[in-house]
Amino acid sequence: MKKGLVPTHTRYDYVPLNERKDYNWPGGKRLAFCITTNVEVFAFGKGRGHDNAKHGEPQTQRNYSWRDYGNRIGIWRFFDMFDQFKLPAAHNANSLLCDYYPQIIDAIRKRGDEIVGHGRTNAENLKDFLWEEDEARVIKDVTDTFAAAGVPATGWMGAGAYENATTPDLLKEAGYRYLMDWPCDDQPFWLRTRSGPILSVPYPVELNDSPAVVHRQHSAHEFCDMLVDQFDEMVEQSEHAPLVCNLSIHPYVFGQPFRLRVLRNALAHCVNHPLKDRVWFCKPGDVSDYCYTLAPGILPGS
């Protein structure tokens, strides 16, 4: 097919893995392993949001309550599990958490975890804002809210990973250093914006409990088998190239006791892996900060 026959973009160029430079993560590590939760606020009876019984159902007290379980119960079980394994975590967080669930923000701050900007509420996404000025105002609102709460965000993952044509430009101009909306790679790379490059940090659409469990109806055991297989394969592959393994979990999904038990066993496998000396247990922001120290020409797009 001739080039130019389908719509495309100019954010990055194609650079296959076997043509890239080699480098290490801090301490000579080869696999960066991140856990990223999604801690979200939903409108009661309005707006967007999953249903646990049937796709496309209207917003009701049932599916509001199911998701609110994550903030009342699930996230606290996550914190206990992360403490058990001494694991850092990042949290894709709606800024309205600061108003409605301030205890969660306090716990994130006390743990030294990372806040990743995730919009104001998951009852909306950036596609709801058709004018660039409106979207810029939403991004600023999120940014200012987290900064005022003492948990400033340097990374962004849009609600539903939705973007408009200028979203990366607006994020760069708002001071963000990285985003996780482009799941096309296992390594970080630089995206072009009209104001200079912004880093893309890998974030999964596959190793993500929302599409896997809610949409594709995988069981907790199936999902955690995926986690174990992903980790095992990537820790071996990382001998040849540095990689990022990012796990995405929602507290209203894997905060349920029967799922949590299986996840705990899978994480125990990861932290006790025979090749764990290759693994950097970190946050996406740590990956971003380290990439900013690398010399030009090492990461694709630099």
As averages over each run of 10 residues, the pLDDT of the chain (302 residues) reads 78 96 98 98 84 76 91 98 98 98 98 97 88 95 98 96 94 98 98 98 95 90 98 98 98 97 98 98 98 97 96
Q: What are phi and psi of 269, to 5 degrees?
A: -60, -45
Superfamily of domain 18-291: Glycoside hydrolase/deacetylase (3.20.20.370)
What pLDDT is stored for residue 198 in this prediction? 98
Q: Which residues are 246's β-sheet partners?
A: 34
CA dist., res. 109 & res. 141, Å (int): 20
CA dist., res. 288 & res. 249, Å (int): 20
- The amino acid that residue 146 corresponds to is F
Sequence-separated (6 or more) residues with CB below 8 Å from residue 14: none
CA dist., res. 45 & res. 32, Å (int): 39
Provide the whole-model pTM. Answer: 0.95
Strands 178-179 and 114-117: unpaired
What pLDDT is stored for residue 125 in this prediction? 87
Supply 188's token pair. 């970080």
What pLDDT is stored for residue 46 in this prediction? 84
258: left (phi over 0), alpha (psi -120 to 50) or beta: alpha
Q: Are the CB atoms for 172 and 150 separated by under 8 Å? A: no
Helix and strand element counts for the chain (H, E): 10, 9
CA dist., res. 9 & res. 200, Å (int): 15
What pLDDT is stored for residue 128 in this prediction? 86
Burial of 225 (0-12, 13-18, 19+ CB in 10 A): middle
C-alpha triplet 183, 241, 90: angle, nearest 5°: 45
What pLDDT is stored for residue 53 in this prediction? 67
